[in-house]
Amino acid sequence: MYLLSWENAAFSGFAFYSIILMVKMFILAIYTGILRFKKQVYINSEDAAAAGVDIKKDDPDVERIRRAHQNDLENFPIFFMSGIIFILADPNAVFALMMFRFYAIARIVHTVAYCCLHVRSVRSISFFIGVLINLIMIITALITFHQM
């Protein structure tokens, strides 16, 4: 069995939860655009001119969604890289699925806390759960590859 194949439950789970996270990221990008249009908040001169409004860069609602999206853009590449390396270390499938599932849940909770609830403690805890999961995967892979 190849580690990076659909026959590997860890890889299949990683792909599934990665797709969920990518969809979430696209939803944030689309919602940012919808909110900009709805509130007439444009940061590019040609967009503002077409709408007949002035450039505005500081709408709190648009900025909150944009920052949540930016946070995903900063954190997902690390998850994707550490997840692939973790899979190549051939982890226990149940353990790997648990890591991927908890990471996805933590990132979804982070987005909801950031965009809807405005609760710093929930946002911070869910962020650090994601960081911890990445560290666990990286350390697991590092130990595995060091022993080879």
Residue 1 binned pLDDT confidence (cut-offs 50, 70, 90): low
DSSP designation for 43: S
The Cα–Cα gap between 88 and 78 comes to: 15
Nearest Cα neighbor of 36 from 25, 23, 50, 22 is: 50
CA dihedral 65, 24, 27, 122 (to 10 degrees): -30
Contact by Cβ (8 Å): 13, 101: yes
* Residue 108 CB-density burial (10 A; 0-12 exposed, 13-18 middle, 19+ buried): middle
Q: What is the pTM of this model?
A: 0.88
Residue 139 binned pLDDT confidence (cut-offs 50, 70, 90): very high
The confidence score (pLDDT) of residue 148 equals 67
Distance of CA 19 to the CA centre of its chain: 10
The Cα–Cα gap between 3 and 48 comes to: 50
96 vs 118: which has the higher pLDDT: 96
pLDDT digits (tens, 9 = 90+) for 13-67: 999 999 999 999 999 999 998 998 888 887 777 877 777 777 677 888 888 998 9
The Cα–Cα gap between 57 and 29 comes to: 16
Question: What's phi and psi for 55, nearest 5 deg?
Answer: -65, 135
**Mean pLDDT over residues 94-103, rounded?**
98
**Helix pair angle (60-88, 93-112), 10° resolution:** 170
62 vs 107: which has the higher pLDDT: 107
The Cα–Cα gap between 109 and 132 comes to: 15
Q: Delineate the domains of the chain, giving CATH numbers in brackets.
A: 9-146 (1.20.120.550)
